[in-house]
Chains A and B, each alone.
Chain A
Amino acid sequence: MTSRTAGAIVLLTLFSSPHASADEQEGITALQMEIEALQTEFANRISVLEAKLARLQGLPEPAAGAPLQPSKDTTPIITNKSAQEDPIQSASLTAPVAPATSGRRIFGNEFNPSVGIILNGAYRDYSSEMSEMAGFPIGHEGERGKEGFSVDHSELNFAANIDDKFSSKVTVAIAEHEGETEVELEEAFIQTLAGAGLPDGMSVMFGRGFWTLGYLNEHHNHADDFADRPLTNRVFLNNTFNDDGLEVTYILPADFYAEIGGGLFLGDDYPFGGADGGGVGAWSLFARTGGDIGYNHSWRLGAYLLSGSADNGRSSNDDDIFFVGDSDLYVADIRYTWAPTGNPRQKELTFQSEFFLNQEDGTYEDSALASGLVMFDEQSSGWYAQGVYKFNPNWRLGLRYSRLAPADTPAALFGGALDAADHDPQALAIMADWTNSEFSRLRLQYSLEELSDGQEDNQFTLQYIMSLGAHGAHKY
């Protein structure tokens, strides 16, 4: 309707009187008819739109792009048409349907990469100035965190399905090393989806990732129950083994959970190092099993082997210690969870423990001692155990103990970083954390670390872990 006709209608209504002339009367009738025609047209349009809306709501999964079956003619598909032919179905559809408050469909950002930002920062206070790990080579990441304020574990995640066969994930960490801000590519991998055409139960991950090795290694720091990793992961893996490589896992076709897998890696990440890019520097094999006991208990057990070599050498302890040779790392882990009320949202007890055995065969050199090359064929080990109790949806308490058993020190390395001087490094941690929602957590932790003989370190950590954007996964 143009504004002019609208104006004419208003004028006519205002000035029309019961004594209107025949001409005027004719004009009014024409206008009335015009208005009626417009009303009918709008009514028709609205009913067409309503029908469209009803059809959209009645259709099964209109948003899912894939058809139910390849052929529409030969296989049954649920549509309104078939419903009309079936008396029972049509009865159900003509029965009053609850009205929806809104026909709008708003989806998350599943179709674009889901983006998540983890804000993970802390304030740390240490009583000891020194933190020397006796008897073990230790990488930079494995050392205790920076004292004072730090935002060292903030990270950015992107994840999405690429198509029907592949998914991917990228994690970039923004870390501060000696006053400089560095961007680290923690993860960048592709992974097969169930539609990739592999045998049922098989999955391949290719790229850089937190590989399957014990319980903690495949988890991100921000999902941990404590503010730092236990001594075992700090010493044997420099916190995390995330080399470049490829991993295949296979869930066996049993009623019971049983998984086997293995990987091939470049061999550049701790505990290996100095890969010259030629071939495969390391490989892994593992097997795990687990299950439920009744409704409220569940468990998982695993055994892992990571084997490889540092042919061109691995440096540690601020480049003081240099190792060339082979290492075999055996890991066993157990995890057990119990929901006392049956609902883990309310109360939950989790227990986990890992054991590491590391066999190294090669040469060590301690440049601080000017030791020269020292033959080395020894084994070291370590373990930790932790329990975390969630006593209401917001609060958890945790206790962790970790202990290491250093290798026998060759005489040529006496007095250096690799000389344990008959001391087993150990650490005790107690934490309490408050979880406001699935996206925010504050934690207070006290640790007593005794990494070398007589070096007692009382540590206090106040930590925040918040996530923006994508919803995290509830892994076991």
Chain B
Amino acid sequence: MKHIFFTILTVFSSLFLAPGSADAKVRVFACEPEWASLAQSIGGNLVEAYSATHAAQDPHYIRARPSLIAKMRRADLIICSGAGLEEGWLPVLLQKAGNTKAQHGGPNFLLAANLVPLLETPVTLDRSMGDMHAQGNPHVHLNPHNIPPIATAIVERLKVIDGANLTTYEQNYETFLARWIAATSRWESEASDLKGRRIVTHHKSWTYLIDWLELKLVNTLEPKPGIPPNSSHLEQLLAQVNEAPVLAIVRSPYAPDQGSKWLSGKTGIPEAILPFTVGGEDEVTDLFSLFERTLDIFDGAVDAKS
């Protein structure tokens, strides 16, 4: 019996000991699709960006799956949101994978939340307030002004990791940034009529978008962060919305739809299912189309109202 076990073990190990595909691309492990997309924009075809989550998943509730351990094991650059968003699974991956490049504070490890000013940093912390992030709200990618500092950090890291292609990264980065800044000011002029509009959201995933567009968050469908909507809270919300109407009920593709459907049915206020991240809709293939589609959906809601 033992001989059979040893044979199986030896065959198994030798099958996998041969190193995998040895292409020279820089392997980027991104925790969320927005960072994979940003790294791909800057790295072009010199990098291979992998996203641990897809747009339909809530990035907080992910298991440290076997496939993620294998990806982390061979990653050259790790980009995550940080601020506690991945605290359930990222530490497990780092521990299991044993990748010397994947270390907190090291040059191959980037946390976006450490590069931009965070909103909603709580002054007091108590679990009765729901799923709170001590450092602040981690969904930082939804303000276009947060993208440039993160892009800068990515290009600096890529230049160190793959010095041979330094000039290409530099060029890609400059092209990206010029396009991004132009697009940001275009979006801002287009979206000026959204200023001060009132909205309801499912979860506090939209803080940075609301802050950027100067929208007014009336309330969330979740009574507390991470706690699913319940009927008493929804009734209260209905009264609040009837008193002063809102533009739209906003949710992400991964949020459950019962709460927003119910409120929309009662009030006639449209649901706005915003893509939230790259891949949230078929046509949202990068960060540019993410913001374009988001503003289009808001425009639709404004037009429907007037």
One of A14-22, A88-96, A178-186, A443-451 contacting the partner:
A88-96
Q: Is B284 close to A, CB under 8 A?
A: no
A252 touches B16 (CB 8 A): yes
Those of A183-217 within 8 Å (CB) of chain B: 191-195, 198, 200-203
- When distances are taken between beta carbons in the complex, the residues of chain B under 8 Å from A149 are none
In the complex, chain A residues whose CB is within 8 Å of the CB of B73: 200-201, 251, 253
Please, which residues of chain A bring their CB within 8 A of the CB of B254? Answer: 342-343, 345-346
User: How far apart are A441's CB and chain B's nearest CB, in angstroms?
Assistant: 14
From 62 to 116 in chain B, residues with beta carbon under 8 angstroms from any chain A beta carbon are: 62-67, 69-70, 73-74, 84, 87-89, 91-92, 94-107, 111, 114-115
Q: What are 10 A-B pairs at a CB distance below 8 A?
A: A98-B143, A194-B100, A194-B101, A253-B73, A254-B19, A290-B65, A295-B54, A300-B66, A346-B254, A359-B1
Closest approach, in angstroms, between the C-beta of A333 and any C-beta of chain B? Answer: 13
CA distance A198 to B228 in the complex (A): 44
B121 at the interface (CB under 8 A from A): yes
Q: Is the beta-carbon distance between A69 and B160 smaller than 8 angstroms?
A: yes
Chain A residue with minimal CB distance to B152?
A78
Contacts of A366 in B (CB 8 A): none
Q: Determine, out of B4-12, B192-200, B289-297, the stretch whose residues face the partner at the interface.
A: B4-12
Q: How far is the CA of A256 from the CA of B65 in the complex (A)?
A: 12
Q: Which residue of the partner chain, among B69, B94, B118, B178, contacts A194 with CB atoms under 8 Å? A: B94
Chain B residues closer than 8 Å to A88, beta-carbon distance: 174, 177-178, 181
Q: Which of B127-135, B243-251, B263-271 contacts A (4 or more CB under 8 A)?
A: B127-135
Residue in A61, A75, A92, A342 whose CB lies within 8 Å of B105: A61
Shortest C-beta distance, B229 to chain A (Å), equals 11
Q: Given the interface contacts A64-B104, A95-B184, does A287 sit within 8 Å of B97 by beta carbon?
A: no
Q: Is there contact, CB below 8 Å, between A69 and B118?
A: no
Can you add 17 more A-B contacts, CB < 8 Å, to A105-B135, A303-B8, A472-B88?
A60-B114, A61-B111, A64-B104, A66-B106, A68-B156, A69-B107, A93-B148, A103-B117, A106-B125, A192-B98, A200-B98, A203-B95, A260-B13, A289-B16, A307-B2, A344-B63, A392-B256
Q: Which residues of B contact A42 (CB under 8 A)?
A: none
User: Hey, which chain A residues are within 8 Å of B102, CB to CB?
Assistant: 194
Closest to B146 in A: A98
CA distance A200 to B69 in the complex (A): 12
Closest to B92 in A: A473
Is there a chain B Cβ closer than 8 Å to A439's Cβ? yes
From the candidates B105, B118, B136, name the one contacting A65 in the complex (CB within 8 A): B105
- Is residue A134 contacting chain B, with contact meaning CB distance below 8 A? no
* Cβ-defined contact, B66 with A337, below 8 A: no
- A314 to B133 CA separation, bound complex (whole angstroms): 49
Chain A interface SS verdict (over half): loop
A101 interface residue (CB < 8 Å to B): yes
Instruction: Decide if B119 is an interface residue (CB 8 Å cutoff).
Output: yes
Q: C-beta contact mask, B1-34 vs A, less than 8 Å → 1, else 0?
A: 1100110110011011111110000000000000
By a CB distance below 8 angstroms, the chain A residues around B100 are 194-195, 200
Query: Is there contact, CB below 8 Å, between B156 and A77?
Result: yes
* B99 pairs with A201, CB closer than 8 A: yes
When distances are taken between beta carbons in the complex, the residues of chain B under 8 Å from A57 are 117
A255-B21 contact given A66-B106, A475-B63, CB 8 Å threshold:
yes
Q: A193-B103, A258-B16, A290-B66 given as contacts; is B92 within 8 A of A475 (CB)?
A: yes
* Minimum C-beta distance from A361 to chain B (A): 12
B117: nearest residue on chain A (CB-CB)? A100
Q: Does B122 contact A (CB under 8 A)?
A: yes
B149 within 8 A of A: yes
